[in-house]
């Protein structure tokens, strides 16, 4: 698992060496720092933002994640409470998406970054 893309994504480690932390804070729900990233890896020196505007592409990943969370919330609500009104579904989905916003933000950036950079065993030493 350590040599895979999933390790980098879920542990929020550098996609090249899997050693350095990408975010300044390990706490996702530290709302003052959840979006603060290191400029480059402390272990291998890999620069995270490849070019200006690089993170705009992460919005598409974020969109896919929010759709998945919304559908999962809808299905779970339907299975637990099938006679729910549209407003119950709407309210629950809004609450879930707001609650998972910091998680979605970080996951989408990590997934996007891992599309363009890959693990290099030589740099992990």
In a domain, 77, yes or no: yes
In a domain, 80, yes or no: yes
pTM confidence score: 0.89
DSSP-assigned letter for residue 120: -
In a domain, 124, yes or no: no
1-36: pLDDT as tens digits: 778 899 999 999 999 999 999 999 999 999 899 999
58-117: pLDDT as tens digits: 999 999 999 999 999 999 999 999 999 999 999 999 999 999 999 999 999 999 999 999
Task: Give the rounded distance of the alpha carbon of 109 from its chain centre.
Answer: 5
CB-based contact 57:67 (threshold 8 Å): no
**Based on the structure, what is the number of domains in the chain?**
1
In a domain, 32, yes or no: yes
In a domain, 63, yes or no: yes
In a domain, 123, yes or no: no
């Amino acid at each position: 698992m350590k040599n895979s893309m999933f390790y980098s994504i879920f542990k929020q480690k550098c996609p090249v060496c899997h050693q350095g932390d990408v975010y300044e804070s390990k706490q996702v729900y530290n709302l003052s720092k959840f979006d603060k990233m290191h400029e480059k890896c402390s272990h291998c020196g890999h620069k995270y933002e490849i070019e200006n505007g690089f993170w705009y592409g992460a919005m598409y990943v974020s969109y896919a994640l929010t759709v998945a969370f919304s559908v999962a919330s809808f299905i779970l609500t339907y299975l637990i409470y099938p006679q729910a009104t549209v407003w119950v579904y709407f309210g629950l989905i809004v609450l879930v998406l707001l609650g998972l916003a910091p998680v979605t933000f970080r996951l989408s950036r990590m997934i996007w970054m891992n599309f363009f950079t890959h693990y290099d065993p030589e740099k992990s030493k």
